[in-house]
Structure 1
Amino acid sequence: MSVASRYPKFGQFNAAIGSRVPNSIEKYPEYQKLRPNRELLKREQLDLLHILREKMHLDVTELVPEEKTPLCCFVEDLAIVFNGKALLTRGLKSGDPRELEIKSLKIALKDYGIDILFMDDSSALAMTPPLEMNGAAATEEMENGVGEKEAKRIVGGDVLFTGYEFFVGISYFTNVEGAMEFASKMTDLAVTIVKLPLDKSNDPEIKSRRLKDYISVACEGLIVYADTADGNFLMKQIINNSSYDYNTVRMRAEFLSNCIYINGYLLYPDTGNTLCADGESDYKLLDQLISRIPVPASEFSRVKTALSRRVLIFDAPHTHGARRHFP
């Protein structure tokens, strides 16, 4: 196995963009069934932004909540930021109201000196595949119904950077064409496609999953993943197709397999209940390698929303001090 070169700034960040939780989050159809505590969601989101600002010393921009889009606080969906560039994503159907959020996000990213890139509008029907997907050509039509004639689509939650290479998950939000667009515009590092295990039963919870719901990087060279059938399925693909030998830690609680490695610390979701007991036991395996900081997430765990989806963290060419709101 060849050994990949490490990206020199891996895990080093100085800026973040987030949004407060909108009042309209209760109107999201799947949340109406779960009936989460809106005020607790708001408090947990503010706790995350506070930790990033006060403990991680990041320059944090808070976008004004867009009430027309109940999921506006999940900004990771909207852009992939790497090495001074941001690819504004298209992970939802054309005309979706989340397009309203992209305008504010684009201005905020430019204000940090980030170069903005856009997804190509064309639907590529004939391509020379630069990627490999588990030994199959990347243009092979996917079993999840996303075929070659689909517009290019990708979301940030399906893009995992390990410090050595990228893995892009093919999901209901990301297709092969979107992964190829990312690879061609954003990086010269290796980009490998992995396929999420998608249930054809049309279960909305399964359809909402992204790659980073199952797998995260806890620190350099170390991956944590959900010890479930789906998590093991994805981890096997990564091991078989990786250009680097990673150490791994299995997380018995699937929700806790999403964490954020930032400036030498590990931010992880604190659910505040029995779910956290197994997580604490598993995370203790990392204590000799990295210092951990818990982020309140009891209510977000009820709606099964990964920690990383709630914020966009990146290394900005320049920052502005203690900014709080934008625009």
Structure 2
Amino acid sequence: MANVCPYGRFTHAVVRGIPESFGKTAADGHENGAVSVDLAKAQRQFGCLTGALRQKVGLQLIEIPPDAELPESWRIEDVAVIQGDTALIARPFQQQRRSEVKAVRRVMSELNLTVVEMGAEQGGSAGATLEGSDVLFTGREFFVGISSHTNHGGAEVLADTFRDFAVSTVPVCGGSRLKNICSMGGPDTIVFSSTEGAKKTLRVMEQLTDHRYEVLSVPEESAANCIYVKGPSKKDFLLHRPVEECPDSVSAFQKLPDYSLLPTACSEASKLGASLSSLCLLINRKHTYF
């Protein structure tokens, strides 16, 4: 399969607000371990992210209201994988998170996307699971991280859904999700953490692909997750963690030529294991249906 889809061309961003229950887990409603989070700060950071996507990058923003009954629903990237006109509704590992897909499915339908459901017919609680934060699409192929959240069954469903593209599974070494340790920093550039675990995952990816990607290595793992968008003006934007959060990595991003760099804070969501891309679903649609 040799399909190539220009990476980074998006028109819409779908987000879901930070609920009052932020910091609690979907499993039991209790606080997320011993992690202390600042709800107001998380909501401010969410507002800065959405503001950057809408006002600076120029995307049309679709915001699903927060739901206190779904404390992790702000991690919207987990519940869908979108490529072209197709949206695969994913199946989160935690049973309690699966109701998050309802509102996202409705938005995908309203955008006139072809919605493919990854539901219970794939098996019971021990069946296929897939979370979007374990999926890296490069414009040429998919890499699916096999982690505590995503299994081989989930990767098989993704491969069956997006048959025009090669799909490779890779171990997630040194991080809880694939996109905790890597992300796209341009059409042929992958931003990778320089941790030993991330290097192991990178070596596997290099063995599985026929394409040679540029690799931008960053010393801090949390800096490895960025949001790259070729905006409506054909300008290259990169949302990345600011110097206050990743002081040793900002200089790496400054090596990217002709990019509009948008430092975007994510410290509160990061405390819960999330990344910048966890907070949005990016879609390329020629028309607006809202």
Normalising by the residue count of structure 1, what TM-score does the alignment of the two structures yield? 0.80
Amino acid at match of 2:202: M
Matches of 1:234 and 1:309 in 2, distance apart?
A: 20
Stretches of structure 2 that go unaligned for 5 or more consecutive residues are 231-235
Amino acid at match of 1:311: C
State whether structure 2 residue 86 is matched by structure 1 residue 110. no
Aligned counterpart in structure 2 of residue 6 of structure 1, from 4, 13, 18 = 4
Matching residue of 1:318: 287
Matches of 1:73 and 1:57 in 2, distance apart?
A: 21
Equivalences for residues 1-327 of structure 1 within 5 A: 4-7=2-5, 9-28=6-25, 29=30, 31=32, 33-94=34-95, 96=96, 98-119=97-118, 121-123=120-122, 150-197=126-173, 209-263=176-230, 264-270=236-242, 272-273=243-244, 275-286=245-256, 288=257, 290-320=259-289
Amino acid at match of 1:81: I
Amino acid at match of 2:40: E
Matching residue of 1:203: none
Stretches of structure 1 that go unaligned for 5 or more consecutive residues are 125-148, 199-205
Contact 1:113 1:317 survives alignment (8 Å)? no
Amino acid at match of 1:153: T
Describe the SS at the equivalent of 2:165.
coil
Identity of aligned residues (%): 28
Matches of 2:126 and 2:73 in 1, distance apart?
A: 25
Q: Do the aligned partners of residues 155 and 56 (structure 1) sit closer, same or farther apart at CA in structure 2, a change above 3 Å counting?
A: same
Matches of 2:267 and 2:127 in 1, distance apart?
A: 36
Pair member with larger Rg: 1
Contact 2:193 2:224 survives alignment (8 Å)? yes
1:277 Cα deviation (Å)?
A: 1.7
Which deviates more from structure 2 when the two are superposed, residues 28-37 or residues 158-167?
A: 28-37
Contact 2:3 2:164 survives alignment (8 Å)? no
Describe the SS at the equivalent of 1:27.
coil
Matches of 1:300 and 1:62 in 2, distance apart?
A: 18
